[in-house]
Structure 1
């Protein structure tokens, strides 16, 4: 869920009142919490669009605590994704055992099950065994039959993001970032990815290391954070994952990719072979 940043002193006044009542009710229902009012809030770092906290309570068993994840939605993110879509996706995944369970909702956030697993690091993506687990889990994710329309969202999003970027950029900034070139490239890519041989699946669209967790006892992978998830060409999701290997979200410039770290041909082929070996709808 992200690395621990710091414990916040006493807790409640920093959280929405309605959410605090939900947290206390959860703790009371568990029955083993010493005092539902004695909750500790720990800020987690690494989240880009939300404020994410770990909430924990001491229990009657020594050195054991109850934990949940508390998420406050970021402001101004509607330009990037539809929050209602993300919530529907989270609820579907929760019901089908594909991610953390939904424990509670409040107007500007939610409370999630704490997964006893480790969030991956950038170097984990290059580990051959972990990469193989990710490839298989990605295929399973792509084969999910999400309710609702199964329309490709990629091109609409790219055009919308480009429109916003141009509206916020000075002419020299637009030129430096080649925004006009991007506008010309989108229809070219759209035509290529609209061919009949392209497999369409339910894509995560943000499969960076901070959104992947591993249970090191069972070697099971859990994919979290579905803000950008939608139906898209699965080739896009695979390519995006490769690009995420060039990212470091724990620097002052998380948006700048180091393509010296981009996986080589052999590494990409190994990932795709594992992906294709996992049985599913796209062969």
Structure 2
């Protein structure tokens, strides 16, 4: 990856007419492109931002410029400056494509070729190993200073402050009051969760923090996996990325928690992760299964943090997002699973 600083383009993308706005961006970033041959491809996987790929007719495999339009009020949960700094760091390490430019309401960056995963392909033995290996690379990035605590956990308290007290839609308001606790109760719940997780003394590393299946791209030709959408990348418990990833096996559009990987699968996944960790970090000790159950216990505890985060995040999106997605139902389901797992003591799903 080239070590280039993104340029600032003072253009605001009209989400109702993205193609016309995109052409103005391409005049700056791809001045040699023939305007009459430019094609656009809208990607529908995102539930927070609007993604559009721009390319020359017949050359999709050669060069695609991806324009991401930020969802309404996403700055309430995303520090865009911090996100761009993380992308710059990862780009230098070859872990993500270059960030070309920042816009008034979005970013422009390189496209990752491949296919997003689903509930079947994510469990493919080869792909699962590639995911573990890619996660190790991110977790192994050395900070300039140190990671004394989970920044992600700290951010959650700020996000709770942005959870709305009411909604304009009467039916949404009714369901909100019926199923969701008050922000005060959520803060107290987070206090309890924080105390539990910090007592586990889990290593703090740079985490992706949002490894849902659509954020993982598999390139069959290169036989490699890449992660995308680093909006929530920040220091967090190492076990969180693993636990959150396992949670996302249940899907987003139609959540089915029967897709949780079983205990044996998770232990094997962790074994592969530790093997790659020791190889990547030049640690000479052999990987044994002795510590795997203890690591799995930490991973399972992170399930709760993953569900809690998604529940809070979805409530904010319910209020502000213009994307066609049932955020409230998603929030209710994630909080329901949070409290269910809490009552069950976070046992591994068999």
Into which bin does the TM-score normalised by the smaller protein fall? 0.7 to 0.9
Q: For 2:248, which of 244, 247, 257 is the aligned residue?
A: 244
Q: 2:239 matched to 1:235? A: yes
Looking at structure 2, the residues matched to 167 and 143 of structure 1 have their Cα atoms a distance apart, in angstroms, of 40
Q: For 1:173, which of 169, 173, 176 is the aligned residue?
A: 176
Compare 107-116 and 213-222 and name the one that shifted more.
107-116
Q: 1:27 corresponds to which residue?
A: 30
**Residue 188 of structure 1: SS of its match in structure 2?**
helix
Q: For 1:152, which of 150, 153, 158 is the aligned residue?
A: 150
Q: 1:222 corresponds to which residue?
A: 226
Change in CA separation of 1:149 and 1:171 when aligned onto 2, cut-off 3 Å: farther
Q: Is the 8 Å Cα contact of residues 119 and 259 (structure 2) preserved in structure 1?
A: no
Q: Is the 8 Å Cα contact of residues 137 and 221 (structure 1) preserved in structure 2?
A: yes
Q: 2:162 corresponds to which residue?
A: 164
Q: 2:196 corresponds to which residue?
A: 192
Q: Which has the higher strand share?
A: 1
Matches within 5 A, 1:44-193: 44-58=43-57, 66-147=63-144, 150=147, 151-165=149-163, 167-168=165-166, 173-174=176-177, 176-178=179-181, 182-193=186-197
**Residue 165 of structure 1: SS of its match in structure 2?**
coil
TM-score (norm 2): 0.65
What is the deviation of 1:239? 1.0
**Residue 137 of structure 2: SS of its match in structure 1?**
helix
TM-score (norm 1): 0.79
Q: Which has the higher helix share?
A: 2
Change in CA separation of 1:117 and 1:196 when aligned onto 2, cut-off 3 Å: same
**What 5-or-longer segments of structure 1 have no aligned partner?**
1-11, 252-256
Q: How many residues are aligned here?
A: 260
**Residue 30 of structure 2: SS of its match in structure 1?**
helix
**What 5-or-longer segments of structure 2 have no aligned partner?**
1-15, 168-172, 288-350
RMSD, matched Cα: 3.1
Looking at structure 1, the residues matched to 185 and 197 of structure 2 have their Cα atoms a distance apart, in angstroms, of 18
**Residue 70 of structure 1: SS of its match in structure 2?**
strand
